[in-house]
Chains A and B, each alone.
Chain A
Amino acid sequence: MLRYLGFRMLQIIPIVVLASIGVFLMIHLVPGDPVLTVTGLEASADQMERVRQEMGFDQPLVVQYVDWVQRVVSGDLGNSLVSQKPVAELIADRMPATIQLTIATMAIGLALGIPFGLISASRKGSWIDKALAGYSSLSLAVPTFVVGIVFILVFGVTLEWLPTASSYIPFWDDPGGAVKATIGPAFTLGFFVSGVIARFVRASMVEVLDLDYIRTARAKGVGEAKLVYKHAFRAASLPTLTVVGIQFGTFLGGSLVTESVFNYPGIGRLILSAILNRDFVVVQGAVLVVVIIFTLVNLATDVLYSFLNPRIRAGSSG
């Protein structure tokens, strides 16, 4: 187990290193003088010279990279060009909103996806199976911004039950307000996730329900409900865990589109507004943090998976 853990930890190093190189090079890949990329076009000659010194743009690229990595490792992601605030602080400010949205999204996705997957697997081929298959195909095909706009249209504009633009209200401060403010983006993303989860649950349940031990249990007279929900689902939940983990990691990195549909102040909107303002220092820092979070959550998922399924401990990736 420890060996596997060490092996997996080693595997994320090249990903993080490559991501850091990519993120570092971003400023240099934008056409034009990198100093102007950082300062913006209206910078004074003084400001430009200061940035050139600070960022070490007169140094060779390798030296710049090593300097930058040293600063990043010590927690200094630079300062935003627009607000002048430290990038690390901006990210830390937005993180709670994104975490709350991710938890709400996964709760909705699991609450819909697992029952839907179980029902379709246990009634394979029936009309309800086909209807639910249609549901998951639809949830994967409708873009989140279409779902979001329809949601705003129905609940914000027509019924006027919810605000048309959402905001971040911490759940601990005001549970009712938090639900009202988060339900729009959470439902929009949760609808998408529920389709993914339903498909995976169905696929792995269909596989498990065909196995010998289920046939044996059925022959022994175990009731159909207990068979599906206890015997089979326990085995089928493992592959589902992986897909849930990947989705969890993706949403923790912020949902660029959904957050911007609802004006939800998470990491996704931070990255998007930084890109639109050409605030590349913020883009650099936020993208790096998001990639690291995503990689770590994937690692955690894998470790959890192998912990629950001892057969995989020595596994290698394809």
Chain B
Amino acid sequence: MSAPNDVAAEEMSTRARGTDPSGRTRWCRSGLGRFRRWAANEKPAAVAMSFLVLLSVAAIAAPIVAPYDPLQQDLGSILKGPSFSHPFGTDELGRDMLSRVIFGGRISLATAAIAVAIAGSVGGLAGLAAGYVERVPGALIMRFMDFLLAVPGILLAITIAAVLGNGFWPATIAVTVISIPAFARLARASVLSTKQEEFVQSTKSAGAGHSYLMFRTIFPNALSPLIVQASVAAATAILLEAALSFLGLGTQPPSPSWGTAMALGKSYLKQSIWYALMPGLVLTATVFSIDTIGRALQRTWGGNTLDSAAGRGA
């Protein structure tokens, strides 16, 4: 293979990515500007992103930010409504709900981050392999993914949690497993269509090897649907974790998970509506924000993730 060919192929594959050969540094330098322009066009997404940043910072810095220790009981003021000293009210043991919701955010966000990172890499790689090697291995991978999709998500999650036991890790593993097939399907579809593009064909005819073609040429160009899917998967992961905890199969009390708090609060609806309502509102706002960003990304990059959002079930 002669050097000029190689350069031409490289140039073609980068050009298709929407950047020029020296584009890497230029893209970085203008990254913030591009983000600002995007945020100006997608105002609801910008608001949603601010909320998520705020929530993440609060969750990470919870011991500093939270006004009280989430486990500290105060039997003198139980099941109180919102007040200046307890903006989200208190629970049946007089614990500050705002602090519990902030600490609970750690569980939700950690589950989402772990599930998306692992399911995205496993599913993405499986889909890449299945799309690149279409024959027997590809078909086998996809049939297994079909099987995972053929079982209602929450049922599969609950069965996995039942086998593994209760707690943060069983719930996170369950949520991760059921997030994999959507990534695999999307990655495969995206790889199949990218494979047909001219720049891939020319890179191939320039003599590029399989791993170069797979990881350097095809994968970067097939990535954007997966990033959109990551937002859907993150929202679904947070919902499912909360649902598992609500059912008593996730993180156990006294850990302040949002789902657990709502399940406990439900028993005290007659005494205090705020106890169950506040974690529910924050949970809803979080999922809604992630969905909003996902839809904005979808408008920017295209791609179809409706199916997986619809599969959240109940």
B213 an interface residue at 8 Å Cβ cutoff?
no
How many A residues touch B, CB cutoff 8 Å? Answer: 58
Q: SS class of chain A's interface: helix, strand, loop or mixed?
A: helix
Using A141-B284, A291-B151 as known contacts, say yes or no to A199 and B306 having CB atoms under 8 A apart. Answer: yes
Measured in the bound complex, the distance between the Cα atoms of B146 and A280 in whole Å is: 26
A275 at the interface (CB under 8 A from B): yes
CB under 8 Å from chain B, chain A span 175-212: 188-189, 192, 196, 199-200, 203
B150 within 8 A of A: yes
Interface string of B285-314 (1 = CB under 8 A from A): 001100110010000000000100111111
Give which listed residue, A14, A30, A146, A317, contacts B163 with CB less than 8 A: A30
Decide: A291 near B280, CB < 8 A? Known: A141-B291, A271-B155.
no
- Of the listed stretches B20-28, B216-224, B242-250, chain A binds B242-250
Task: Decide: A157 and B269 in contact? CB cutoff 8 A.
Answer: yes
**Known A-B contacts A152-B269, A256-B154, A283-B159; A143 and B243 likewise in contact (beta carbons under 8 Å):** yes
Contact A143 B159 (CB under 8 A): no
- Contact between B277 and A150, CB atoms less than 8 A apart: yes
Question: A265-291 vs B: 1/0 string, CB under 8 Å?
Answer: 000000110011000100100010011
Asked, given contacts A15-B150, A137-B292, whether A149 binds B262 with beta carbons under 8 Å apart, the answer is yes
Is there contact, CB below 8 Å, between A271 and B158?
yes
Closest to A158 in B: B273
Is B287 a contact partner of A261 (Cβ separation < 8 A)?
A: no
Q: Which residues of A contact B161 (CB under 8 A)?
A: 275
CA–CA, A255 to B313, complex, Å? 8
With a cutoff of 8 Å between Cβ atoms, the chain A residues found around residue B146 in the complex are 15, 317
Cβ of B199 to closest chain A Cβ, rounded Å = 24
Contact (Cβ within 8 A) B314 A144 = yes
In angstroms, Cα B283 to Cα A142, docked, is 8
Q: Is B33 an interface residue (CB 8 A)?
A: no
Q: Mark A2-28, 1 if CB is under 8 A from B, else 0.
A: 000000000000110011000000100
Whether A257 touches B243, Cβ cut-off 8 Å, given contacts A246-B310, A283-B162, is: yes
Assembled-state Cα–Cα distance A159/B179 (Å): 40
The residue that B314 contacts in the complex, of A30, A138, A255, with Cβ under 8 A, is A255
The complex places the Cα of A201 from the Cα of B79 at a distance, in Å, of 44
The count of residues in chain B whose C-beta lies closer than 8 Å to any C-beta of chain A is 49
Closest to B279 in A: A146
B159 touches A287 (CB 8 A): yes
**Are A146 and B147 in touch, CB under 8 angstroms?**
no
Q: Which of A14, A189, A250 contacts B152 (CB 8 A)?
A: A250
Contact of A31 among B165, B242, B247, B313 (CB under 8 A): B165
- Identify 10 new A-B residue pairs, CB closer than 8 A, beyond the known A200-B306, A260-B247: A14-B143, A26-B162, A143-B246, A149-B280, A153-B269, A192-B312, A200-B310, A253-B152, A257-B154, A294-B151
Q: Can you spell out 25 A-B residue pairs with CB atoms less than 8 angstroms apart?
A: A14-B143, A18-B147, A19-B147, A19-B150, A30-B163, A137-B291, A137-B292, A142-B287, A143-B246, A145-B242, A145-B259, A149-B269, A153-B273, A156-B269, A157-B269, A199-B306, A256-B314, A280-B162, A283-B159, A287-B155, A290-B152, A291-B150, A291-B151, A294-B151, A294-B152
Residue numbers of A with Cβ under 8 A of B are 14-15, 18-19, 26, 29-31, 137-138, 140-146, 149-150, 152-153, 156-157, 164, 188-189, 192, 196, 199-200, 203, 243, 246-247, 249-251, 253, 255-258, 260-261, 271-272, 275-276, 280, 283, 287, 290-291, 294-295, 298, 317-318
